[in-house]
Chain A
Amino acid sequence: MSAHIKAQGLSKTYRVPVREAGLRSAVKSLFRPRFDEVQAVKNVSFQVERGEMVGFIGPNGAGKTTTLKMLSGLLYPSSGSVDAAGHIPWKRKPHYLQKISMLMGNRSQLQWNNTVYDTLYIFKEIYGVSESEFKQHLSELCDLLDLGKLLTKRSRNLSLGERSKCEFALALLHKPEILYLDEPTLGMDVTMQLRLREYIREYNRRFGATVILTSHYMSDVTSLCERVLLINQGKLVYDGRLATLTERITPYKIVKLTLDREELTQEELRTQRIKAELTEIQGNEYTLRVHKQDTVTAGALLMSLYNVLDFSITDPPMEAVIDKIYTEGGLG
């Protein structure tokens, strides 16, 4: 199968004006402006297959949005190449723009003074969607995003969550084959986030769309993407399965147990030769961190030595995994 998106040695360097504080520097910069070069993306290469959903993760300023902008055609790279659906994105040919959609959570496509329906209709015309397709797509979108009551409202009167839903509807109206989603669930409540994720999954399944997603809500990424691209300080530091990443970064499990009385301490664990680290105590509820290879033994010992009312073993939260990478600067 040939790659739907193929990026090769992609780099982007920005030239940023800089000056010291104060009047003297301000005047000096009028005649001799100084610039710093900021390498936002450094030699990034990856491939995404048709119909794949990939999470693009990294801390603020890592280069995620810059990369997405290069893929969508909004940015011209300093070096490297991209082939997306057979096109060079930054040439922004209408054929390519018809095939993609880029949803930026912090940028609006809605027309402030128009009703949602009118804006959708304008997009229908811009993207050349036929009348029958429009009716069908709109009905699906109304169903999935609960848009019905919003269609006759003016965009300026929508709440943040309602606006996000409508932005999503606009992005998908022409059935793009590639979706670039930059923080798509920004400002949505939990219920809406869940519905939207469900819709993205359904859209991907039904239309075989390729999705690249960035989000600071890790649950967006964990629930939708098996594969992640991890970018930090402009460099691609990981490209692979999300589960493998978790395994590599945090090779431990989280054990939660409730005992019939308050008796567990780190000293007690050491005495009982239970290889675990007590990380949280709330009354008679305990949270322990146990190395994966010791989980079975530790679990058995805890169950046999104490009167356990409740017991669970889970993977560490994705946020903890990502935080470890961000704070330590890479995968080591």
Chain B
Amino acid sequence: MNLRGGLALIRGQLFGYLSEKGFFWTLALGWMTAPVIYLLVWQTAVAGGAIGGYDRNDVILYYLCLIVVNQATYPTTHWTTAEHIHNGTISAQLLRPVPLIYHALGTEFAVKIVCLPFVSAVVILLGMGFKVRLTLEAEGLMIAAAALVFAAVLRFLLAYAISLLAFWTQQSNALLQVNDTLVFLLAGQVAPLAMFPDELHKLALLLPYRYVVSFPVEAALGKLSAAEIGSGFAISGGWILGLALLTGLLTGRGTKKYTSVGG
């Protein structure tokens, strides 16, 4: 497993990103822009009364929570992994005695360590500005934390599996764009899923996208029943298992293909 090597890769990326923190904070600000705009739109929309069980305070809390979850789960390496495959620089990684995925994981951890404190600070300031009321419960927080871990793993695997398609096609970036769009539409960024039409809501519950952002946010806000929490973990766990197997398969087949045609 070479965990020592994996930790070193996180550390190395972290040092690099710390020296470029300005760039990542700008990037993080960009990622926050859309949720903040949706927050403003929806808080106006619910001014006349709650929609789908969300009043003004819920909407603000929902989007502030979403900003943090979105940041904590957004994978950044899938773009670079595909690029490394396309331009052949992945050869250097293939010659190191650590699994290929460690390089992507190292980068993911490092980006999150650099960006999360900044995003959290901005979210706290926004919360104070909106005079949001917040009630924290230990049980709810623990469930939300577990859902966040599931969400981060699921979102990473989803994007990483697509990026590995770069071993076969030059067009994997287009698929990554589609994936990002689906996350945007179906993960609860445009609006809380509870506000979606029934049929779309049912579909969203089965697809992986809800579980990469919306599910931990809903859990943190205490909007889910015990049964919904159970089924949420079961469905996201199933997607994680399936994607982990797929990633393993794509890595094995992909590197074999890569080493057949030349790096």
Contacts and interface: CB of A to CB of B under 8 A. Distances in A.
A273 interface: no
Contacts of B4: 125-126, 128
Most buried by A among B9, B95, B96, B263: B95
Contacts of B15: 113-115, 118
B259 A76 contact: yes
Contacts of B13: 111
A107 to B, nearest CB: 6
Contact of B12 (A104, A107, A108, A111): A111
A270 B59 CA distance: 103
Nearest to B259: A76
B201 interface: no
Contact of B97 (A94, A102, A113): A94
A97 B5 CA distance: 13
A72 to B, nearest CB: 6
A74 B94 contact: yes
A291 interface: no
A94 B263 contact: no
Given A72-B95, A125-B7, A126-B97, A119 B262 contact: no
A106 B95 CA distance: 15
B19 to A, nearest CB: 5
Contacts of B12: 111, 114, 118-119, 121-122
Contacts of A154: 19
Contact of A126 (B5, B89, B259, B263): B5
A92 B261 contact: no
B20 interface: yes
B9 A107 contact: no
A11 interface: no
Interface in B15-62: 15-17, 19-20
Given A119-B12, A126-B9, A92 B89 contact: no
The contact size tier of chain B is 20 to 34
Interface string A84-118: 00000010101101101010100111011111001
Nearest to A93: B97
A111 B96 CA distance: 14
A205 B99 CA distance: 32
Contacts of B174: none
Contacts of A81: none
Contact of B2 (A74, A94, A111, A113): A94
B5 A125 contact: yes
B8 interface: yes
Interface string A28-67: 0000000000000000000000000000000000000010
A141 B8 CA distance: 21
Interface string B233-261: 00000000000000000000001100111
A74 B260 contact: no
Contacts of B8: 121-122, 124-126
A150 to B, nearest CB: 16
Most buried by B among A100, A126, A154: A126
Nearest to B10: A122
Interface string A125-153: 11110000000000000000000000000
A75 interface: yes
A94 B97 CA distance: 4
A267 B216 CA distance: 95
Most buried by B among A100, A109, A125: A125
B134 interface: no
A95 B94 CA distance: 13
A113 B91 contact: no
A69 interface: yes
Interface of B: 2, 4-5, 7-9, 11-13, 15-17, 19-20, 88-89, 91-92, 94-98, 255-256, 259-263
Interface of A: 14-15, 66, 69, 72-76, 90, 92, 94-95, 97-98, 100, 102, 104, 107-109, 111-115, 118-119, 121-122, 124-128, 154
